[in-house]
Chain A
Amino acid sequence: GQNIDQPTEMTATEGAIVQINCTYQTSGFNGLFWYQQHAGEAPTFLSYNVLDGLEEKGRFSSFLSRSKGYSYLLLKELQMKDSASYLCAVRDSNYQLIWGAGTKLIIKP
């Protein structure tokens, strides 16, 4: 079966750094996405990795290791507005997105 695993919830302090991990087992791999979803709102695109390595975009970076079936999202200089759920999704061999249940990130002052 296909499976995406993420921690259910994480807590971090304003101004700090947090790493959200995602491991996956899917039938094929055609890229990995990270989305941010604030409570009661729609998911919005953060990053896309298809090759191994680190993609940096401002305060957010995403890393991929295809051989390990592993990705992480790194958030630096945390702000209160970063409190949200972070969704990991993998595009499988049929080009369908398989979604993790999301990691709820709580930022404390």
Chain B
Amino acid sequence: IAGITQAPTSQILAAGRRMTLRCTQDMRHNAMYWYRQDLGLGLRLIHYSNTAGTTGKGEVPDGYSVSRANTDDFPLTLASAVPSQTSVYFCASSEGTGGETQYFGPGTRLLVL
């Protein structure tokens, strides 16, 4: 069982380019999340999905979009990357949304130049 996988592991991207970060889980968890982690700041929620077919905005959603076509996949898209989106991006999942533990993928390190 792989848990949660993310791709790519790292990426250097020119500003203005479009980029999709992939996230797949095999635990049949209902809820999935995208966070960004920046030095000196806590994890910040970008978008979340409580169940397949639904998505919601987190604390810092601007410049990002998500979709949840099925239970397993939760891709994050940067429509037109900007340098301030340089960060480490973590995908996470939990069985439900009522207090369950969140499990994290290995992260994607993104540098926007």
Contact = CB atoms under 8 A, between A and B. Distances in A.
Q: Do A and B bind each other?
A: yes
Contacts of B103: 45
B40 interface: yes
B97 A95 contact: yes
B101 interface: yes
A45 B41 CA distance: 19
B104 A99 contact: no
Contact of A101 (B41, B58, B102): B41
B99 A30 contact: yes
B42 A42 contact: no
Contacts of B101: 33, 45, 48
A89 B98 CA distance: 15
B43 A42 contact: no
Contact of B99 (A42, A95, A98): A95
14 contacts: A33-B101, A42-B104, A43-B104, A45-B103, A50-B99, A87-B42, A87-B43, A95-B97, A95-B98, A96-B48, A97-B43, A97-B45, A97-B102, A101-B41
Across chains A and B, which 9 residue pairs bring their CB atoms closest together, nearest first? A99-B42, A42-B104, A99-B43, A45-B101, A101-B42, A43-B104, A100-B42, A31-B99, A42-B106
